Amino acid sequence: MTNPLAVVRTPDALRAAVRAWQAQGKRVALVPTMGALHAGHLALVTKGLTLADVAVASIFVNPKQFGPNEDLERYPRDEAGDALKLAGVGCSLLYAPDVATMYPPGFASFVRVAGVPDLLCGRVRPGHFDGVATVVAKLLCAAQADVAVFGEKDWQQLAIIRRMAADLDIGTAIHGCSIVRDHDGLALSSRNAYLSADERQRALALPQALIATRAAIIGGMPVAAALAAGERTIKSAGFVRLDYLELVDGETLHSVARPAPGARLMGAGVIGTTRLIDNIAI
């Protein structure tokens, strides 16, 4: 079957397509991804089409956001299958550059948002969010779309991108899209494919602990005690590492001692060899 979705692979081609739509009076939404698309990614496209007339997605597995011992080489890739999924939800264009296009010889510029990248995931993935900010800045500048949509599962990433776009006057409005979960509550993630059947079942302890911790805090339990109970739940499920379970300000991501408007419960840990993240609003 011929794939109906147009694919471009250079910044010039992407920018020309976006400008052509904008010249027709159409608003354009950009949805950056690393591929291996699932229903959560497709929800970003659907959200984009509520904010704009045309949706453009990008697929680029960004080497600059992977640490030396992370899963860059085995990260799932299926451009042809992803393109068909994108076309099925109304995406009009796929931008799929290669590494040499994104980071040509002599590339020497990086974007860093001070403070926020050093918290939460940044404590165990040093440099990760510098790679994220750099690649997203390049994508936003290349597309010059009216809006861009990112998933709220990566809440820290979303907060960093919002800060960067505002600080650098990029001009593209940044929107979040609610977490899409499987039928049993596990947040959808491309890395869920790494989980064995047993690990997949035990991974439910993370969203369940977030829900129980939120209920305890709302019910009046001191935050520290509620977090400690949640940590015990996650560890008892067999997570080999709990990176954090924290109540934070949703914008600054600094820990807070009591619930307040905009606060979020953030959790991350490793089960088997797979690192999972999740969060919920208070």
Q: Which of 129, 82, 83 is nearest to 110 (CA)?
A: 129
Q: What is the mean pLDDT of residues 144-148?
A: 98
| Active-site pick, 41, 128, 175, 183 | 41
For residue 174, which of 152, 151, 149, 144 has the smallest C-alpha distance? 149
Query: Of 93, 90, 136, which is closest to residue 113 (Cα–Cα)?
Result: 136
Full-model pTM: 0.95
What Å distances lie between residue 144 and 6, 16, 75, CA to CA?
18, 10, 28
Average pLDDT of the residues in 82-111: 97
Whole-angstrom distance, CA of residue 251 vs CA of residue 260: 12
Specify whether the CB–CB gap between 142 and 134 falls below 8 A: no
Does 2 have pLDDT greater than 70? no
Q: How confident is the model at residue 121 (pLDDT cuts 50, 70, 90)?
A: very high
Please provide the average confidence, as pLDDT, over all residues in the chain: 96
Per-domain residue ranges of the chain? 6-177, 190-277
The pLDDT value recorded for residue 1 is 44
Q: For 190-277, give the CATH class.
A: alpha beta
How much of the chain, in percent, has pLDDT values that exceed 90? Answer: 96
Q: Quickly name the fold that domain 6-177 has.
A: Rossmann fold (3.40.50)
User: Distances in Å between the alpha carbon of 78 and those of 17, 85, 102, 186, 204?
Assistant: 24, 11, 19, 23, 27
41 classed as catalytic: yes
Q: Using alpha carbons, select from 260, 176, 180 the residue that is nearest to residue 218.
A: 260
* Bridge partner list, 98: none
Q: Kindly provide the b/e burial profile for residues 122-153, where b requires at least 16 CB atoms within 10 angstroms of the residue's own CB.
A: beebebbbbbbbbbbbbbbebbbbbbbbbbbb
